[in-house]
Amino acid sequence: MKLPMNTKHIETNPHYDAQNHILYWASNANGNFDIWQSKRDPKTQEWHEPERVKGDVNSKAKEDQPFVQNGQMRFSRDGAAGNMLAELKEGLWGSVRAEPLGTDLYHAEISMSFDGKTAWFVAGDGHAQKMRFMKLHKQENGNWGQAIEMTLTK
């Protein structure tokens, strides 16, 4: 099956979960921006019919920027000042909660290291009218430490 991408709808921010062979993205195909998915058969390379993510991820607000790894989905939601986190349980995404990422700035578009101990994301500094690239590490207690702005070195 060819995925019905690049349609009259807006499809944005794709993320491929290589562990489970699932492509996630945001789309306004149903009139609201929600997170969608399509599984790829690793043997035939065929894609399954796209569907809205099942569970508590999608709401009446706009959801966008999914990042999935190790049974956890991180995404942005309008009205929330940062990253949202959902856990996959029995095929449904539930337990959606805000995940503080060590800064009071609005933050989104997270990416993580394979071991889940380092995260990179964008933070919006409204006062300075600037986007900041940030990095942080998980502490031994499982919480995220303080986010630090990444700087270029020569």
Mean pLDDT of 44-63: 92
State how far the Cα of 135 lies from the Cα of 58, in Å rounded to an integer: 27
pLDDT of 7 = 73
Mean pLDDT of 62-78: 94
Contacts of 13 (CB under 8 A, 6+ apart): 25, 26, 64, 65, 66, 109
Q: State yes or no: pLDDT of 81 exceeds 80.
A: no
Confidence of residue 2 (pLDDT cuts 50, 70, 90): low
- Composition of the chain by helix, strand, coil, percent to 5: 0, 50, 50
pLDDT of 45 = 87
pLDDT of 6 = 64
pLDDT tens-place string over residues 3-34: 656 678 888 899 999 999 999 999 998 889 99
pLDDT of 8 = 82
Q: State yes or no: pLDDT of 154 exceeds 70.
A: no
Phi/psi for 85 (5° steps) reads -130, 130
The pTM (predicted TM-score) of the whole model is 0.87
Element (H, E) at 26: strand 22-27
pLDDT tens-place string over residues 84-114: 999 999 889 988 999 988 888 888 889 999 9
Structural domains in the chain, CATH included, are 11-110 (2.120.10.30)
